[in-house]
Structure 1
Amino acid sequence: MTRYLITGAGGMLGQDLQQALLGRAVTALTRAELDISDGSAVGAAVEGHDVVINAAAYTKVDDAETDEATARRVNAQGAEMLARAAVQSGARLVHVSTDYVFDGTATTPYAEDTPTHPVSAYGRTKAEGEAFVRSVAPHSSYIVRGAWLYGAGGPNFAKTMLRLAASHDTVSVVTDQVGQPTWTGDLARQIVALLDADAPAGVYHGTNSGQASWFEFTKAIFAEAGLDPERVLPTDSSAFVRPAPRPAYSVLGHDGWAAAGIAPMRDWRDALHAAAAAGVLTA
Protein backbone atom coordinates (compact mmCIF):
# COMPACT_ATOMS: atom_id res chain seq x y z
CA MET A 1 0.00 0.00 0.00
CA THR A 2 1.38 3.39 -1.05
CA ARG A 3 1.52 5.90 1.79
CA TYR A 4 1.27 9.59 0.89
CA LEU A 5 2.35 12.69 2.83
CA ILE A 6 0.92 16.07 1.84
CA THR A 7 2.63 19.18 3.22
CA GLY A 8 0.77 22.48 3.14
CA ALA A 9 -2.41 20.44 3.37
CA GLY A 10 -4.49 23.37 4.62
CA GLY A 11 -3.92 25.40 1.46
CA MET A 12 -6.04 25.54 -1.66
CA LEU A 13 -4.07 22.88 -3.56
CA GLY A 14 -3.45 20.85 -0.41
CA GLN A 15 -7.18 20.51 0.19
CA ASP A 16 -7.82 19.40 -3.39
CA LEU A 17 -4.95 16.91 -3.18
CA GLN A 18 -6.68 15.30 -0.23
CA GLN A 19 -9.83 14.97 -2.32
CA ALA A 20 -7.90 13.55 -5.27
CA LEU A 21 -6.30 10.95 -2.98
CA LEU A 22 -9.51 10.06 -1.15
CA GLY A 23 -9.56 6.40 -0.14
CA ARG A 24 -5.78 6.09 -0.07
CA ALA A 25 -3.40 6.14 2.90
CA VAL A 26 -2.75 9.86 3.32
CA THR A 27 -1.12 11.93 6.03
CA ALA A 28 -2.11 15.58 5.53
CA LEU A 29 -0.11 18.16 7.50
CA THR A 30 -0.87 21.87 7.52
CA ARG A 31 1.71 24.63 7.86
CA ALA A 32 0.92 24.82 11.59
CA GLU A 33 1.51 21.09 11.95
CA LEU A 34 4.79 20.91 10.02
CA ASP A 35 7.40 23.60 9.43
CA ILE A 36 9.08 22.24 6.31
CA SER A 37 12.25 24.23 6.99
CA ASP A 38 12.81 22.26 10.24
CA GLY A 39 15.02 19.38 9.17
CA SER A 40 14.41 17.15 12.16
CA ALA A 41 10.63 17.66 12.05
CA VAL A 42 10.61 16.98 8.31
CA GLY A 43 12.64 13.80 8.73
CA ALA A 44 10.22 12.48 11.32
CA ALA A 45 7.18 13.39 9.21
CA VAL A 46 8.49 11.82 5.99
CA GLU A 47 9.55 8.56 7.60
CA GLY A 48 7.21 5.70 6.69
CA HIS A 49 5.81 7.37 3.56
CA ASP A 50 6.34 6.34 -0.06
CA VAL A 51 5.33 9.64 -1.67
CA VAL A 52 5.73 13.21 -0.46
CA ILE A 53 3.75 15.99 -2.16
CA ASN A 54 5.02 19.41 -1.16
CA ALA A 55 2.20 21.91 -1.51
CA ALA A 56 3.61 24.17 1.22
CA ALA A 57 4.93 27.55 0.11
CA TYR A 58 5.36 31.18 1.05
CA THR A 59 3.16 32.80 -1.60
CA LYS A 60 2.93 36.45 -0.47
CA VAL A 61 4.53 37.72 -3.66
CA ASP A 62 4.65 41.40 -2.71
CA ASP A 63 5.68 40.83 0.92
CA ALA A 64 8.61 38.72 -0.26
CA GLU A 65 10.22 41.81 -1.79
CA THR A 66 10.97 43.10 1.72
CA ASP A 67 11.11 39.73 3.51
CA GLU A 68 12.99 37.49 1.12
CA ALA A 69 14.64 35.65 4.01
CA THR A 70 11.31 34.29 5.24
CA ALA A 71 10.26 33.33 1.73
CA ARG A 72 13.60 31.57 1.20
CA ARG A 73 13.27 29.65 4.46
CA VAL A 74 10.04 28.04 3.23
CA ASN A 75 10.43 27.96 -0.54
CA ALA A 76 14.10 27.04 -0.79
CA GLN A 77 15.27 25.64 2.54
CA GLY A 78 11.99 23.78 3.02
CA ALA A 79 12.27 22.19 -0.41
CA GLU A 80 15.82 21.09 0.39
CA MET A 81 14.80 19.56 3.73
CA LEU A 82 11.97 17.61 2.11
CA ALA A 83 14.18 16.39 -0.73
CA ARG A 84 16.84 15.15 1.70
CA ALA A 85 14.28 13.41 3.89
CA ALA A 86 12.57 11.83 0.88
CA VAL A 87 15.86 10.45 -0.44
CA GLN A 88 16.76 9.11 2.99
CA SER A 89 13.37 7.37 3.26
CA GLY A 90 13.33 6.16 -0.33
CA ALA A 91 10.22 8.20 -1.08
CA ARG A 92 9.28 9.94 -4.31
CA LEU A 93 8.87 13.71 -4.03
CA VAL A 94 6.48 15.98 -5.89
CA HIS A 95 7.54 19.59 -5.43
CA VAL A 96 5.01 22.21 -6.53
CA SER A 97 6.60 25.27 -8.08
CA THR A 98 5.46 28.26 -10.12
CA ASP A 99 5.59 30.19 -13.39
CA TYR A 100 7.36 32.96 -11.44
CA VAL A 101 10.66 31.15 -11.98
CA PHE A 102 10.54 32.72 -15.48
CA ASP A 103 10.86 36.41 -16.35
CA GLY A 104 7.75 36.63 -18.50
CA THR A 105 9.49 38.08 -21.56
CA ALA A 106 8.84 35.07 -23.83
CA THR A 107 6.37 35.16 -26.70
CA THR A 108 5.88 31.39 -27.04
CA PRO A 109 5.13 28.86 -24.27
CA TYR A 110 8.01 28.15 -21.90
CA ALA A 111 9.36 24.64 -22.34
CA GLU A 112 10.02 22.54 -19.25
CA ASP A 113 13.79 22.80 -19.80
CA THR A 114 13.90 26.58 -20.35
CA PRO A 115 16.51 28.07 -17.97
CA THR A 116 14.87 29.87 -15.07
CA HIS A 117 15.24 33.64 -14.80
CA PRO A 118 13.08 35.02 -11.97
CA VAL A 119 12.56 38.77 -11.62
CA SER A 120 10.97 38.86 -8.14
CA ALA A 121 12.06 37.76 -4.66
CA TYR A 122 9.30 35.17 -4.60
CA GLY A 123 10.42 33.82 -7.97
CA ARG A 124 14.03 33.67 -6.84
CA THR A 125 13.19 31.63 -3.76
CA LYS A 126 11.04 29.21 -5.76
CA ALA A 127 13.80 28.79 -8.35
CA GLU A 128 16.24 28.05 -5.52
CA GLY A 129 13.85 25.43 -4.21
CA GLU A 130 13.70 23.79 -7.63
CA ALA A 131 17.49 23.76 -7.81
CA PHE A 132 17.73 22.06 -4.42
CA VAL A 133 15.23 19.38 -5.44
CA ARG A 134 17.04 18.70 -8.72
CA SER A 135 20.39 18.51 -6.94
CA VAL A 136 19.34 16.36 -3.98
CA ALA A 137 16.78 14.05 -5.62
CA PRO A 138 17.38 14.09 -9.39
CA HIS A 139 16.07 10.57 -10.00
CA SER A 140 13.14 10.44 -7.59
CA SER A 141 11.50 13.86 -7.80
CA TYR A 142 8.94 15.70 -9.87
CA ILE A 143 8.86 19.48 -10.11
CA VAL A 144 5.33 20.52 -11.10
CA ARG A 145 4.94 24.19 -11.97
CA GLY A 146 1.50 25.69 -11.48
CA ALA A 147 0.23 29.15 -12.38
CA TRP A 148 -2.80 31.40 -11.93
CA LEU A 149 -4.34 28.96 -9.46
CA TYR A 150 -7.91 29.20 -8.22
CA GLY A 151 -10.02 26.79 -6.20
CA ALA A 152 -12.53 26.38 -3.40
CA GLY A 153 -10.10 26.11 -0.52
CA GLY A 154 -8.45 29.50 -0.26
CA PRO A 155 -8.20 33.13 -1.37
CA ASN A 156 -7.57 33.58 -5.09
CA PHE A 157 -8.17 35.88 -8.04
CA ALA A 158 -11.54 34.39 -9.02
CA LYS A 159 -12.95 34.88 -5.52
CA THR A 160 -11.57 38.42 -5.39
CA MET A 161 -13.28 39.34 -8.67
CA LEU A 162 -16.61 37.93 -7.50
CA ARG A 163 -16.30 39.78 -4.22
CA LEU A 164 -15.64 43.03 -6.11
CA ALA A 165 -18.62 42.31 -8.35
CA ALA A 166 -20.84 42.31 -5.30
CA SER A 167 -19.78 45.82 -4.32
CA HIS A 168 -18.83 47.54 -7.60
CA ASP A 169 -20.76 48.23 -10.78
CA THR A 170 -17.63 47.56 -12.85
CA VAL A 171 -14.17 46.09 -12.32
CA SER A 172 -11.05 47.07 -14.28
CA VAL A 173 -8.68 44.23 -15.14
CA VAL A 174 -5.40 44.17 -17.03
CA THR A 175 -5.14 42.97 -20.61
CA ASP A 176 -1.33 42.97 -20.82
CA GLN A 177 -0.60 39.96 -18.60
CA VAL A 178 -1.24 36.58 -20.22
CA GLY A 179 -1.20 33.17 -18.60
CA GLN A 180 -3.12 29.96 -17.95
CA PRO A 181 -5.93 30.04 -15.36
CA THR A 182 -5.66 26.72 -13.55
CA TRP A 183 -8.18 24.99 -11.30
CA THR A 184 -6.46 23.37 -8.32
CA GLY A 185 -8.90 20.47 -8.60
CA ASP A 186 -7.49 19.67 -12.04
CA LEU A 187 -3.90 20.17 -10.87
CA ALA A 188 -4.40 17.83 -7.91
CA ARG A 189 -5.79 15.11 -10.15
CA GLN A 190 -2.95 15.61 -12.63
CA ILE A 191 -0.36 15.16 -9.87
CA VAL A 192 -2.04 11.90 -8.85
CA ALA A 193 -2.04 10.78 -12.50
CA LEU A 194 1.67 11.57 -12.70
CA LEU A 195 2.39 9.41 -9.67
CA ASP A 196 0.10 6.58 -10.76
CA ALA A 197 1.84 6.46 -14.14
CA ASP A 198 5.24 6.14 -12.46
CA ALA A 199 6.38 8.80 -14.91
CA PRO A 200 10.05 9.70 -15.36
CA ALA A 201 11.48 12.15 -12.84
CA GLY A 202 11.76 15.73 -14.05
CA VAL A 203 9.87 18.96 -14.64
CA TYR A 204 6.19 19.06 -15.62
CA HIS A 205 3.98 22.08 -16.23
CA GLY A 206 0.78 21.72 -14.22
CA THR A 207 -1.42 24.30 -15.91
CA ASN A 208 -4.68 24.10 -17.79
CA SER A 209 -4.25 24.39 -21.55
CA GLY A 210 -4.85 27.46 -23.66
CA GLN A 211 -4.15 31.00 -22.57
CA ALA A 212 -5.94 34.18 -21.49
CA SER A 213 -5.32 37.63 -20.13
CA TRP A 214 -6.56 38.46 -16.64
CA PHE A 215 -9.23 40.54 -18.41
CA GLU A 216 -10.40 37.55 -20.47
CA PHE A 217 -10.32 35.30 -17.43
CA THR A 218 -12.44 37.74 -15.43
CA LYS A 219 -15.05 38.05 -18.20
CA ALA A 220 -15.28 34.25 -18.24
CA ILE A 221 -15.63 34.16 -14.44
CA PHE A 222 -18.50 36.66 -14.61
CA ALA A 223 -20.22 34.68 -17.36
CA GLU A 224 -19.95 31.42 -15.42
CA ALA A 225 -21.30 33.14 -12.30
CA GLY A 226 -24.30 34.48 -14.19
CA LEU A 227 -23.04 38.07 -14.15
CA ASP A 228 -22.79 40.49 -17.07
CA PRO A 229 -19.27 40.20 -18.56
CA GLU A 230 -19.60 43.75 -19.91
CA ARG A 231 -19.10 44.94 -16.33
CA VAL A 232 -15.43 43.94 -16.76
CA LEU A 233 -13.42 46.83 -18.21
CA PRO A 234 -9.93 46.63 -19.80
CA THR A 235 -6.90 48.41 -18.40
CA ASP A 236 -3.16 47.80 -18.29
CA SER A 237 -0.52 47.11 -15.65
CA SER A 238 0.41 50.77 -15.27
CA ALA A 239 -2.86 51.19 -13.35
CA PHE A 240 -1.72 48.71 -10.69
CA VAL A 241 1.79 49.46 -9.44
CA ARG A 242 2.86 46.75 -6.99
CA PRO A 243 6.08 46.02 -5.10
CA ALA A 244 6.86 42.79 -7.01
CA PRO A 245 7.00 42.65 -10.82
CA ARG A 246 4.54 40.27 -12.47
CA PRO A 247 5.53 38.22 -15.51
CA ALA A 248 3.76 39.64 -18.56
CA TYR A 249 3.71 36.22 -20.25
CA SER A 250 3.18 33.10 -18.14
CA VAL A 251 2.15 30.50 -20.71
CA LEU A 252 3.82 27.14 -20.03
CA GLY A 253 4.39 24.37 -22.55
CA HIS A 254 3.14 20.84 -21.93
CA ASP A 255 5.51 18.59 -23.88
CA GLY A 256 6.54 16.79 -20.69
CA TRP A 257 3.14 15.15 -20.35
CA ALA A 258 3.20 13.74 -23.86
CA ALA A 259 6.70 12.36 -23.31
CA ALA A 260 5.42 10.59 -20.18
CA GLY A 261 2.35 9.23 -21.97
CA ILE A 262 -0.05 11.36 -19.94
CA ALA A 263 -2.70 13.66 -21.42
CA PRO A 264 -2.13 17.35 -20.63
CA MET A 265 -4.67 19.21 -18.56
CA ARG A 266 -7.84 20.37 -20.33
CA ASP A 267 -8.47 23.85 -21.68
CA TRP A 268 -8.87 26.48 -19.00
CA ARG A 269 -12.38 27.37 -20.21
CA ASP A 270 -13.57 23.79 -19.81
CA ALA A 271 -11.96 23.64 -16.37
CA LEU A 272 -13.62 26.91 -15.31
CA HIS A 273 -17.02 25.63 -16.45
CA ALA A 274 -16.51 22.42 -14.45
CA ALA A 275 -15.31 24.37 -11.42
CA ALA A 276 -18.42 26.57 -11.56
CA ALA A 277 -20.63 23.48 -11.77
CA ALA A 278 -18.82 22.12 -8.71
CA GLY A 279 -19.61 25.28 -6.73
CA VAL A 280 -16.06 26.63 -6.72
CA LEU A 281 -16.92 30.10 -8.02
CA THR A 282 -18.16 31.73 -4.85
CA ALA A 283 -16.93 34.92 -3.25
Structure 2
Amino acid sequence: MQKILVTGANGQLGSEIKMLALHYPQFDFIFTDIDDFPLDQSEVIISNFNRIQPDIVINCAAYTAVDKAEQDTVVADAINHLAIATLASLCSESGAKLVHISTDYVFDGTSPVAYKEDDQPNPKSVYGVTKLAGEIACLKNFPDSIIIRTAWVYSEFGNNFVKTMLRLMSERDSLSVVDDQVGSPTYAADLAQVILTILDSATWESGIYHYSNAGEISWFDFAQDIKEIAQKTCKITGIPASNYPTPAERPAYSLLDKSKIKAVYGIEAVDYKISLKKMMERLD
Protein backbone atom coordinates (compact mmCIF):
# COMPACT_ATOMS: atom_id res chain seq x y z
CA MET A 1 0.00 0.00 0.00
CA GLN A 2 1.40 3.38 -1.02
CA LYS A 3 1.82 5.89 1.77
CA ILE A 4 0.70 9.46 0.97
CA LEU A 5 1.92 12.35 3.10
CA VAL A 6 -0.45 15.34 2.92
CA THR A 7 0.87 18.65 4.28
CA GLY A 8 -1.45 21.52 5.16
CA ALA A 9 -4.15 18.96 5.94
CA ASN A 10 -6.34 21.36 7.93
CA GLY A 11 -6.56 23.90 5.10
CA GLN A 12 -9.25 24.03 2.44
CA LEU A 13 -7.64 21.59 0.00
CA GLY A 14 -6.23 19.28 2.66
CA SER A 15 -9.64 19.05 4.33
CA GLU A 16 -11.25 18.09 1.02
CA ILE A 17 -8.62 15.40 0.42
CA LYS A 18 -9.50 14.00 3.86
CA MET A 19 -13.14 13.80 2.74
CA LEU A 20 -12.17 11.84 -0.40
CA ALA A 21 -9.55 9.61 1.24
CA LEU A 22 -12.15 7.01 2.27
CA HIS A 23 -12.81 6.34 -1.42
CA TYR A 24 -9.14 5.45 -2.01
CA PRO A 25 -8.44 2.48 0.31
CA GLN A 26 -5.43 1.54 -1.82
CA PHE A 27 -3.59 4.50 -0.27
CA ASP A 28 -2.45 4.99 3.32
CA PHE A 29 -2.92 8.71 4.01
CA ILE A 30 -0.87 10.53 6.65
CA PHE A 31 -2.39 13.96 7.25
CA THR A 32 -0.12 16.61 8.79
CA ASP A 33 -0.43 20.31 9.45
CA ILE A 34 1.59 23.19 10.85
CA ASP A 35 1.72 21.76 14.39
CA ASP A 36 3.37 18.48 13.42
CA PHE A 37 4.91 19.40 10.04
CA PRO A 38 5.89 23.09 10.14
CA LEU A 39 7.21 24.12 6.73
CA ASP A 40 9.25 27.01 8.12
CA GLN A 41 11.56 24.60 9.97
CA SER A 42 13.72 22.61 7.56
CA GLU A 43 15.20 20.33 10.22
CA VAL A 44 11.70 19.25 11.29
CA ILE A 45 10.68 18.68 7.66
CA ILE A 46 13.67 16.39 7.15
CA SER A 47 13.23 14.42 10.38
CA ASN A 48 9.48 13.96 9.85
CA PHE A 49 9.92 12.96 6.22
CA ASN A 50 12.53 10.36 7.16
CA ARG A 51 10.28 9.05 9.93
CA ILE A 52 7.18 8.77 7.73
CA GLN A 53 9.02 7.59 4.58
CA PRO A 54 6.17 8.46 2.19
CA ASP A 55 5.78 7.09 -1.32
CA ILE A 56 3.89 10.22 -2.38
CA VAL A 57 3.78 13.78 -1.03
CA ILE A 58 0.88 16.16 -1.70
CA ASN A 59 1.99 19.62 -0.57
CA CYS A 60 -1.17 21.60 0.19
CA ALA A 61 0.58 23.82 2.75
CA ALA A 62 1.38 27.42 1.87
CA TYR A 63 1.67 30.90 3.29
CA THR A 64 -1.54 32.30 1.77
CA ALA A 65 -2.05 35.55 3.70
CA VAL A 66 -1.41 37.55 0.53
CA ASP A 67 -1.43 41.04 2.05
CA LYS A 68 0.41 40.07 5.24
CA ALA A 69 3.16 38.50 3.11
CA GLU A 70 4.15 41.98 1.90
CA GLN A 71 5.65 42.56 5.37
CA ASP A 72 6.20 38.97 6.52
CA THR A 73 8.58 38.20 3.66
CA VAL A 74 11.00 35.89 5.51
CA VAL A 75 8.33 33.50 6.76
CA ALA A 76 6.43 33.58 3.43
CA ASP A 77 9.64 32.67 1.59
CA ALA A 78 10.49 29.94 4.09
CA ILE A 79 7.11 28.24 3.62
CA ASN A 80 6.41 28.92 -0.07
CA HIS A 81 9.94 28.52 -1.41
CA LEU A 82 12.62 27.07 0.86
CA ALA A 83 10.39 24.31 2.25
CA ILE A 84 9.50 23.23 -1.29
CA ALA A 85 13.19 23.00 -2.17
CA THR A 86 13.68 20.74 0.86
CA LEU A 87 10.64 18.56 0.09
CA ALA A 88 11.65 18.21 -3.56
CA SER A 89 15.19 17.17 -2.60
CA LEU A 90 13.86 14.62 -0.11
CA CYS A 91 11.49 13.17 -2.71
CA SER A 92 14.26 13.02 -5.29
CA GLU A 93 16.57 11.17 -2.90
CA SER A 94 13.90 8.73 -1.71
CA GLY A 95 12.08 8.12 -4.99
CA ALA A 96 8.78 9.49 -3.68
CA LYS A 97 6.38 11.29 -6.01
CA LEU A 98 5.60 14.95 -5.34
CA VAL A 99 2.47 16.95 -6.15
CA HIS A 100 2.88 20.63 -5.28
CA ILE A 101 0.12 23.24 -5.41
CA SER A 102 0.86 26.69 -6.82
CA THR A 103 -1.11 29.76 -7.85
CA ASP A 104 -2.28 32.15 -10.57
CA TYR A 105 -0.40 34.88 -8.66
CA VAL A 106 2.80 33.87 -10.49
CA PHE A 107 1.38 35.88 -13.43
CA ASP A 108 1.02 39.66 -13.68
CA GLY A 109 -2.56 39.58 -15.01
CA THR A 110 -1.89 41.48 -18.23
CA SER A 111 -2.59 38.63 -20.68
CA PRO A 112 -5.53 39.08 -23.07
CA VAL A 113 -6.15 35.30 -23.10
CA ALA A 114 -6.13 32.44 -20.59
CA TYR A 115 -2.67 31.64 -19.26
CA LYS A 116 -0.95 28.47 -20.46
CA GLU A 117 1.59 26.58 -18.36
CA ASP A 118 4.56 27.81 -20.39
CA ASP A 119 3.57 31.49 -20.40
CA GLN A 120 6.15 33.77 -18.81
CA PRO A 121 5.52 34.31 -15.07
CA ASN A 122 5.83 37.84 -13.72
CA PRO A 123 4.51 38.00 -10.14
CA LYS A 124 3.54 41.38 -8.70
CA SER A 125 3.34 40.47 -5.00
CA VAL A 126 5.57 38.88 -2.38
CA TYR A 127 3.15 35.96 -2.26
CA GLY A 128 3.46 35.48 -6.03
CA VAL A 129 7.25 35.88 -5.96
CA THR A 130 7.67 33.28 -3.21
CA LYS A 131 5.27 30.83 -4.90
CA LEU A 132 7.16 31.17 -8.20
CA ALA A 133 10.46 30.62 -6.37
CA GLY A 134 8.91 27.47 -4.90
CA GLU A 135 7.97 26.22 -8.38
CA ILE A 136 11.47 26.84 -9.70
CA ALA A 137 13.10 25.12 -6.71
CA CYS A 138 10.69 22.21 -6.97
CA LEU A 139 11.50 21.45 -10.61
CA LYS A 140 15.22 22.16 -10.14
CA ASN A 141 15.60 19.79 -7.19
CA PHE A 142 13.15 17.19 -8.50
CA PRO A 143 12.28 17.53 -12.22
CA ASP A 144 9.85 14.59 -11.95
CA SER A 145 7.46 16.62 -9.76
CA ILE A 146 3.94 17.65 -10.74
CA ILE A 147 2.94 21.26 -10.00
CA ILE A 148 -0.72 22.29 -10.23
CA ARG A 149 -1.49 26.00 -10.41
CA THR A 150 -4.95 26.96 -9.26
CA ALA A 151 -6.91 30.12 -8.43
CA TRP A 152 -9.69 31.62 -6.29
CA VAL A 153 -9.96 28.55 -4.06
CA TYR A 154 -13.01 28.13 -1.83
CA SER A 155 -14.73 25.34 0.13
CA GLU A 156 -16.91 24.84 3.18
CA PHE A 157 -13.69 24.66 5.21
CA GLY A 158 -11.64 27.64 6.37
CA ASN A 159 -12.04 31.27 5.34
CA ASN A 160 -12.79 32.17 1.74
CA PHE A 161 -14.71 34.53 -0.52
CA VAL A 162 -17.93 32.51 -0.63
CA LYS A 163 -18.27 32.23 3.14
CA THR A 164 -17.33 35.89 3.61
CA MET A 165 -19.93 37.00 1.08
CA LEU A 166 -22.64 34.89 2.71
CA ARG A 167 -21.84 36.41 6.09
CA LEU A 168 -21.77 39.99 4.79
CA MET A 169 -24.98 39.52 2.82
CA SER A 170 -26.67 38.45 6.03
CA GLU A 171 -25.31 41.43 7.95
CA ARG A 172 -25.66 44.27 5.42
CA ASP A 173 -28.17 45.75 3.01
CA SER A 174 -25.53 46.57 0.39
CA LEU A 175 -22.00 45.55 -0.63
CA SER A 176 -19.34 46.78 -3.03
CA VAL A 177 -17.31 44.11 -4.85
CA VAL A 178 -14.44 44.49 -7.33
CA ASP A 179 -15.61 44.01 -10.91
CA ASP A 180 -12.39 44.45 -12.92
CA GLN A 181 -10.43 41.41 -11.71
CA VAL A 182 -11.30 38.40 -13.85
CA GLY A 183 -10.59 34.69 -13.46
CA SER A 184 -12.32 31.47 -12.50
CA PRO A 185 -13.06 30.09 -9.02
CA THR A 186 -11.87 26.67 -7.87
CA TYR A 187 -13.92 24.48 -5.57
CA ALA A 188 -11.31 22.75 -3.41
CA ALA A 189 -13.27 19.48 -3.56
CA ASP A 190 -12.86 19.45 -7.36
CA LEU A 191 -9.13 20.14 -7.08
CA ALA A 192 -8.77 17.38 -4.47
CA GLN A 193 -10.48 14.98 -6.88
CA VAL A 194 -8.14 16.06 -9.68
CA ILE A 195 -5.07 15.29 -7.55
CA LEU A 196 -6.32 11.86 -6.51
CA THR A 197 -7.36 11.05 -10.08
CA ILE A 198 -3.80 11.77 -11.21
CA LEU A 199 -2.30 9.66 -8.41
CA ASP A 200 -4.68 6.79 -9.17
CA SER A 201 -3.94 6.82 -12.89
CA ALA A 202 -1.28 4.77 -14.66
CA THR A 203 0.20 7.99 -16.04
CA TRP A 204 2.79 10.20 -14.37
CA GLU A 205 3.74 13.09 -16.61
CA SER A 206 5.83 15.57 -14.65
CA GLY A 207 5.66 19.34 -15.09
CA ILE A 208 3.25 22.19 -14.51
CA TYR A 209 -0.52 21.95 -14.98
CA HIS A 210 -3.37 24.44 -14.61
CA TYR A 211 -6.68 23.62 -12.96
CA SER A 212 -9.62 25.75 -11.93
CA ASN A 213 -13.33 25.40 -12.56
CA ALA A 214 -14.66 26.33 -16.00
CA GLY A 215 -15.93 29.85 -16.58
CA GLU A 216 -14.68 33.42 -16.84
CA ILE A 217 -16.08 35.84 -14.27
CA SER A 218 -15.20 38.80 -12.06
CA TRP A 219 -15.41 38.84 -8.27
CA PHE A 220 -18.57 40.93 -8.71
CA ASP A 221 -20.08 38.23 -10.93
CA PHE A 222 -19.11 35.60 -8.36
CA ALA A 223 -20.80 37.59 -5.59
CA GLN A 224 -23.95 37.92 -7.70
CA ASP A 225 -24.04 34.14 -8.24
CA ILE A 226 -23.64 33.54 -4.49
CA LYS A 227 -26.48 35.99 -3.83
CA GLU A 228 -28.72 34.28 -6.38
CA ILE A 229 -28.12 30.74 -5.06
CA ALA A 230 -28.51 31.82 -1.42
CA GLN A 231 -31.57 33.93 -2.31
CA LYS A 232 -30.24 36.98 -0.50
CA THR A 233 -31.64 40.50 -0.99
CA CYS A 234 -28.42 42.44 -0.35
CA LYS A 235 -27.65 44.97 -3.12
CA ILE A 236 -24.23 44.40 -4.73
CA THR A 237 -22.42 47.20 -6.56
CA GLY A 238 -19.40 46.66 -8.79
CA ILE A 239 -16.35 48.84 -8.15
CA PRO A 240 -12.87 49.04 -9.74
CA ALA A 241 -9.96 47.50 -7.81
CA SER A 242 -8.47 51.01 -7.55
CA ASN A 243 -11.32 51.85 -5.15
CA TYR A 244 -10.31 48.98 -2.89
CA PRO A 245 -6.52 49.28 -2.44
CA THR A 246 -4.69 46.37 -0.80
CA PRO A 247 -1.03 45.99 0.27
CA ALA A 248 -0.50 43.23 -2.33
CA GLU A 249 -1.33 43.75 -5.99
CA ARG A 250 -3.75 41.21 -7.44
CA PRO A 251 -3.64 40.00 -11.08
CA ALA A 252 -6.36 41.82 -13.03
CA TYR A 253 -6.78 38.80 -15.30
CA SER A 254 -5.79 35.33 -14.16
CA LEU A 255 -7.87 32.87 -16.15
CA LEU A 256 -5.99 29.55 -16.44
CA ASP A 257 -5.98 27.47 -19.62
CA LYS A 258 -6.86 23.88 -18.66
CA SER A 259 -6.24 22.19 -22.03
CA LYS A 260 -3.00 20.45 -20.92
CA ILE A 261 -4.48 18.62 -17.92
CA LYS A 262 -7.37 17.51 -20.14
CA ALA A 263 -5.02 16.25 -22.87
CA VAL A 264 -2.70 14.35 -20.50
CA TYR A 265 -5.13 13.10 -17.85
CA GLY A 266 -8.55 13.42 -19.48
CA ILE A 267 -9.64 15.81 -16.71
CA GLU A 268 -12.51 18.11 -17.64
CA ALA A 269 -12.96 21.30 -15.65
CA VAL A 270 -16.36 21.38 -13.91
CA ASP A 271 -18.49 24.48 -14.57
CA TYR A 272 -17.91 26.88 -11.68
CA LYS A 273 -21.60 27.47 -11.00
CA ILE A 274 -22.35 23.74 -10.67
CA SER A 275 -19.56 23.46 -8.11
CA LEU A 276 -20.64 26.61 -6.29
CA LYS A 277 -24.17 25.23 -5.86
CA LYS A 278 -22.75 21.93 -4.59
CA MET A 279 -20.55 23.66 -2.03
CA MET A 280 -23.35 25.90 -0.80
CA GLU A 281 -25.64 22.87 -0.41
CA ARG A 282 -23.00 21.27 1.80
CA LEU A 283 -22.99 24.41 3.96
CA ASP A 284 -26.72 24.04 4.71
Output the CA distance in 2 between the equivalents of 1:170 and 1:134: 46
Pair 1:54-2:59 in alignment: yes
**Residues 22-76 of structure 1, C-alpha deviations (whole Å, 9 max, x = no match):** 2431100011111124333223333421110001111111111112111001000
Note the C-alpha offset of 1:133: 0.5
**8 Å contact 1:42–1:85 — kept in the other structure?**
no
| Equivalent AA in structure 1 for residue 168 of structure 2 | L
Pair 1:225-2:238 in alignment: no
Output the CA distance in 1 between the equivalents of 2:269 and 2:34: 28
Output the CA distance in 1 between the equivalents of 2:248 and 2:42: 30
Q: 2:129 aligns to what?
A: 124
Pair 1:134-2:142 in alignment: no
**Secondary structure, aligned partner of 2:232:** coil
**8 Å contact 1:181–1:268 — kept in the other structure?**
yes
Output the CA distance in 2 between the equivalents of 1:103 and 1:158: 24
Q: How does 1:144-223 map to 2 (within 5 A)?
A: 144-197=148-201, 198-223=203-228
Note the C-alpha offset of 1:199: 3.1
**8 Å contact 1:173–1:232 — kept in the other structure?**
yes
After the TM superposition, which of the residue ranges 32-41 and 202-211 deviates more from structure 2? 32-41
Q: What TM-score, normalized by structure 2, do the two folds share?
A: 0.94
Q: What TM-score, normalized by structure 1, do the two folds share?
A: 0.94
Q: How does 1:1-283 map to 2 (within 5 A)?
A: 1-22=1-22, 23=25, 24-47=27-50, 48-139=53-144, 141-197=145-201, 198-228=203-233, 231-279=235-283
After the TM superposition, which of the residue ranges 27-36 and 258-267 deviates more from structure 2? 258-267
| Equivalent AA in structure 2 for residue 200 of structure 1 | E
CA RMSD of aligned residues (A): 1.4
Output the CA distance in 2 between the equivalents of 1:219 and 1:75: 33
**Secondary structure, aligned partner of 1:20:** helix
* Unaligned 5+ runs, structure 2: none
Note the C-alpha offset of 1:163: 1.1
* Dislocated runs of 4+, deviation >4 Å: none
* Unaligned 5+ runs, structure 1: none
**8 Å contact 2:154–2:160 — kept in the other structure?**
yes
**Secondary structure, aligned partner of 2:265:** coil
